[in-house]
């Protein structure tokens, strides 16, 4: 009997009708002969509503109490879903994170799962019950309620599947799978049948918000097959799995982009050991995350240094850079927060030369100027003016044949 973990996000359980709809899906899976664990999020908007209440009573709410508060959102949904299931003659029982011993560290609001004791869950499954578990929450060694960070229910589902050796972890959401790119930018975007963990991680961290990044890392580490599906319509969804030899690999799997970027440049910095460290240490000391970094080859004993940060950190980063620059005797500081990052992702890149030049030629043909370039083994990213985002994405989507079925599995 297969063990399936299903996870339903906030939109999928956003109303009583939708919870009943989820109940029917769960029942169907069980009636097909599977053992089923269901992980649910809070009803859509609920976590934000609770956070609003917290900030209405305290300007700086204690993290421990925020977790006590937020965990109630998921507790409502597990009870409602278990009721709805029993009501259609599908025996079910609900548990909070602490009831099934989802043990985490004590980092409130961003706790990490350390271990799960699955005995209670396995006992229920053995007796034919569906087990409904609250996502996004756990308990630390002192019995305090913790939460896993926004979107954390995905991670709960994957962790349960890993701990109990589930056959598949199905993430039900409001889209029917992972797409080659955002269909709102390129209507010809196509649902992928499969994608590797590595590619999904790149797509997720580059701004495709289908899954919490940590859940994908977790699934990759423990080799839990993950499937993203729609809770509103039937379909195969997208399977996220490891690379296997039989899977005929498309060159490029997708195009990710991130609008939330800004670029900072300092010119005429002395070309000496320790300069890059000084510039970036000042930035990271302010808790600002740096993404791409480019340093030029030195000329006349000075060099240029450019990096990108989240747009929200732009002004702060600029002020810090200005003071480091004057301390270093640099020539000039420039900033631009009207840029975006567009990236090609695909494990097929490893074994194919020429992808970068194809990408750059396609952009050049549209007169799109590339401001920065960054690469990793399975990704090539460019920074361009934000006004070219749509054009760049569509141009690359068509250049690499992502809309064509031939490119599919
Ligand atoms: N309810 C939490 C959130 O809104 C966790 C989740 O939905 O995964 O972030
Ligand atoms: Mg979510």
250-260 CB burial, b ≥16 within 10 A, e <16: bbbbbbbbbeb
Q: What structural domains and CATH numbers belong to the chain?
A: 3-174 (3.40.1160.10), 255-399 (3.30.2130.10)
**Quick one: pLDDT band at residue 139, thresholds 50, 70, 90?**
very high
pLDDT greater than 80 at residue 407? no
Let me know: does 251 contact 294? Beta carbons within 8 Å. Answer: no
Rounded distance from Cα 190 to ligand 2 centre (Å): 21
Minimum-distance ligand 1 atom for the alpha carbon of 9: 7
Ligand 1 mean position to 120 CA, how many Å? 24
- Per-residue pLDDT, averaged over 77-95, amounts to 98
Residues 240 and 23: their CA atoms lie apart, in Å, by 25
- Ligand sitting nearest the alpha carbon of 39: 1
Q: What is the pLDDT of residues 99-118, one digit of tens each?
A: 999 999 999 999 999 999 99
Name every residue whose Cβ is closer than 8 Å to that of residue 100 and which is 6 or more positions away in sequence.
Answer: 116, 117, 118, 120, 121, 131, 133
pTM score, two decimals? 0.86
Report the range of poorest mean pLDDT among 137-141, 236-240, 242-246. 242-246
Ligand 1 lined by 47 (C-beta under 6 Å): yes
Ligand minimally distant from the alpha carbon of residue 46: 1
Ligand 1 pocket test target in 8, 77, 153, 160 with most atoms within 8 Å of CB: 153
| Ligand with an atom nearest the CA of residue 155 | 1
- Ligand 1 near 151 CB (within 6 A): yes
CA-closest residue to ligand 1 atom 4: 47
Ligand 1 touching residue 14 (CB < 6 A): no
- DSSP H helices, 62-177, are 63-87, 119-126, 153-163
250 contacts 232 by C-beta, under 8 angstroms: no
Interval 339-350: pLDDT, tens: 999 999 999 888
Q: 358-400, pLDDT tens digit by residue? A: 999 999 999 999 999 999 999 999 999 999 999 999 999 999 9
User: Which residues are paired to 168 by β-bridges?
Assistant: 4
Tell whether the model's pLDDT for residue 408 goes beyond 70.
no
Identify any residues that bridge with 171 across adjacent strands, giving them in sequence order: 7, 228
């Amino acid at each position: 009997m297969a063990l399936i973990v299903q996870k339903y996000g906030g939109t999928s359980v956003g109303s009583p009708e939708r919870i009943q709809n989820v109940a029917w899906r769960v029942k169907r899976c069980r009636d097909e002969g599977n053992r089923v664990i269901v992980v649910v999020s809070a009803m859509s908007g609920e976590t934000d509503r609770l956070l609003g209440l917290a900030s209405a009573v305290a300007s700086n709410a204690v993290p421990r109490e925020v977790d006590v508060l937020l965990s109630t959102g998921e507790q409502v949904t597990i009870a409602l879903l278990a009721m709805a299931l029993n009501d259609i003659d599908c025996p079910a029982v609900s548990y909070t994170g602490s009831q099934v011993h989802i043990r985490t560290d004590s980092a409130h609001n961003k706790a990490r799962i350390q271990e799960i004791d699955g005995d209670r869950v396995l006992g229920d499954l053995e007796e034919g019950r569906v087990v409904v578990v609250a996502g996004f929450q756990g308990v630390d060694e002192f019995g305090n309620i913790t939460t896993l960070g926004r979107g954390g229910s995905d991670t709960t589902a994957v962790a349960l599947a890993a701990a109990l050796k589930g056959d598949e972890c199905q993430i039900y959401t409001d889209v029917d799978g992972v797409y080659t790119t955002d269909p709102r930018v390129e209507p010809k975007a196509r649902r992928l049948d499969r994608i590797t963990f590595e590619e999904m991680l790149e797509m997720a961290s580059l701004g495709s918000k289908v899954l919490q990044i940590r859940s994908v890392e977790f699934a990759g580490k423990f080799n839990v097959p993950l499937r993203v599906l729609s809770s509103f319509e039937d379909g195969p969804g997208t399977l996220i799995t490891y690379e296997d030899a039989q899977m005929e690999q498309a060159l490029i799997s997708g195009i990710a982009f991130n609008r939330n970027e800004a670029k900072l440049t300092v010119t005429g910095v002395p070309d000496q050991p320790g300069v890059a460290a000084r510039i970036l240490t000042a930035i990271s000391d302010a808790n600002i995350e740096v993404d791409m970094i480019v340093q030029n080859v030195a000329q006349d004993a000075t060099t240029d240094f450019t990096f990108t940060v989240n747009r929200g950190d732009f002004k702060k980063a600029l002020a810090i850079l200005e003071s480091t620059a004057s301390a270093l005797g640099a020539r000039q500081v420039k900033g631009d927060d009207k840029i975006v990052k567009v990236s090609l992702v695909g494990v097929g890149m490893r074994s194919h030369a020429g992808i970068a030049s194809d990408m750059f030629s396609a952009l050049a043909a549209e007169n799109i100027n590339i401001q920065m370039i960054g690469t990793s083994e399975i990704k090539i990213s460019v920074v361009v003016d934000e006004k070219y985002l749509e054009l760049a994405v569509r141009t690359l989507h068509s250049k690499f044949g992502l809309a064509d079925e031939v490119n599919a599995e």
